[in-house]
Structure 1
Amino acid sequence: MKTAHDLVLAAKAQCTEVAVEHAQDALRSVEVIIDVREADEYAAGHLAGSINIPRGLLEFKLSGTPELERRDISALLYCKTGGRSALAAATMQSMGYLHVVSMAGGYDAWVAGGGAVIKASQPTFD
């Protein structure tokens, strides 16, 4: 029986990953940056310009969003550590998307490497 770890390893073997050190270049060349984490994770901090499509909704959102339906769109995906984004990239490839990469190490590696993030502002009460 396969485990989640087995599935992630298989997805990583199937998809293209970009190392965090090279992600800045990849970010400049893609049309869309997709954060596949859950909404609360995204709200806590995300890469500038990214859109949030949780992994569990990816196939449905891609099929229901006209600007994301083009199979030749270039996309960079990321999650917390790279597992969900690898699964998502492999899924997009199986759906016919041609230019999809997953950021190895994910958001955690991005932050550890000093990458800039956007954090939702909290209301203040004076």
Structure 2
Amino acid sequence: MKNALDLVAEAKSKINEVSVTDAPSEIQKADVLIDVREPDEFRAGHIAGAINIPRGMLEFKLSGTPELQDRDKHIVLYCKTSGRGALSTVALQDMGYIKVSSIAGGLDAWIEAGKPTVKPDLPEFG
């Protein structure tokens, strides 16, 4: 029986993982950058320009959002450490997306490499 780590390892063998070094140029070429972490993780900090679509809603959101339905879109995904990103990349490949990749090591590797993150502006309630 497979466990989560087995599924991630299998997913990583089927996808294009972009190194943190190459990620900025890959992001620049991408049509969309998707952070597949949960909303609270996203609010704590994310890569500039990313949209947040949690892993559990990814297939539904892409299917239901006309701007994201073009299977030729160049999509870069990431999560915290790259497990959810890898699983998400396989899911998009299974849906017919052909230019999809994941950032190796996820946001943790991005931050460790000294790359910047941003936080969304939240309204102040006084």
Match of 1:56 in 2: 56
Give distance in 2, aligned partners of 1:8 and 1:120.
Answer: 29
The amino acid across from 1:29 in the alignment is K
Give distance in 2, aligned partners of 1:12 and 1:107.
Answer: 16
- 1:116 positional shift: 1.0
Give distance in 2, aligned partners of 1:4 and 1:64.
Answer: 27
The amino acid across from 2:11 in the alignment is A
Match of 2:10 in 1: 10
Match of 2:47 in 1: 47
Percent identical residues: 54
SS of structure 1 residue aligned to 2:41: helix
Segments of 5+ residues of structure 2 without an aligned counterpart are: none
SS of structure 2 residue aligned to 1:20: coil
Match of 2:99 in 1: 99
The amino acid across from 1:39 in the alignment is P
Q: Give TM-score scaled by structure 2 length.
A: 0.95
- 1:60 positional shift: 0.1
- 1:121 positional shift: 4.6
Match of 2:88 in 1: 88
SS of structure 1 residue aligned to 2:80: coil
Deviations 1:11-42 (A, max 9, x none): 00011100001101101100000000000000
Segments of 5+ residues of structure 1 without an aligned counterpart are: none
SS of structure 1 residue aligned to 2:77: strand
RMSD: 1.2
Give distance in 2, aligned partners of 1:89 and 1:78.
Answer: 9
Match of 1:73 in 2: 73
SS of structure 1 residue aligned to 2:101: strand
Count of residue pairs the alignment pairs up: 125
Deviations 1:96-126 (A, max 9, x none): 001000000000110111111111356486x
Give distance in 1, aligned partners of 2:121 and 2:16.
Answer: 34
